[in-house]
Copies of this chain bind each other. A is one copy, B any other.
């Protein structure tokens, strides 16, 4: 992983072959694939665990907690975890940069996230079977993860450091979860009615 991140940042992802990485790490190319299923995965060693966090947060909810709160909790735990890379010192930041700049890796991350949505949506539906059907659950989770990833990538591409980026992700979650509030209100009044916003129009996390 160290050798890979270093070479990728030095020469670019496409210009770095697996053979290069293997040589720099003093192993054979075959051994590389013994540890990482694909070239992209060398940057994604940990991605899987975040999903479990979200599912866990939903399944272990307080029985009659409002959906909005449960989802907020789930997203918070996921966002908190994104920071915790297992890379040494400065490599984590470089890796994040590579994630958003390298198309192949980006596609992989998106796909992983997308398939994860299915699991999260299933957990959500199971938690609120009366309020949600499959497709609505999927839509909510899709909006949530879509908003958060878009915010994260845009923030990183604008060169923002980790902390404002996390703030932006939370703000994005707020945006996506707006609809859910209307599901939580006990009386099913029409949600098309214009309402006052939450006070802040579009207060950017930083400027």
Chain A: residues with CB nearer than 8 A to chain B?
A: 66, 68-69, 72, 103, 106-108, 110-111, 114, 117-118, 121, 131-136, 138-151, 153-155, 158, 168, 170-172, 174-176, 178-179, 181-185, 190-207
Contacts and interface: CB of A to CB of B under 8 A. Distances in A.
B185 A194 contact: yes
A150 B139 contact: yes
Contacts of A153: 114, 138
A202 B198 contact: yes
For this chain, the copies found in one complex come to 2
A146 B142 CA distance: 5
Nearest to A168: B135
Nearest to A172: B139
Interface of A is mostly: helix
Nearest to A118: B154
Given A197-B190, A206-B205, A121 B135 contact: no
A185 B197 contact: yes
A172 B135 contact: yes
Contacts of A198: 66, 68-69, 181-182, 184, 194-195, 197, 202, 204-205
A106 B111 contact: yes
Interface centre among A118, A170, A193, A200 (most CB of B within 10 A): A200
A127 to B, nearest CB: 13
B150 A147 contact: no
Contacts of A149: 114, 142, 146
Given A108-B107, A190-B197, A143 B176 contact: yes
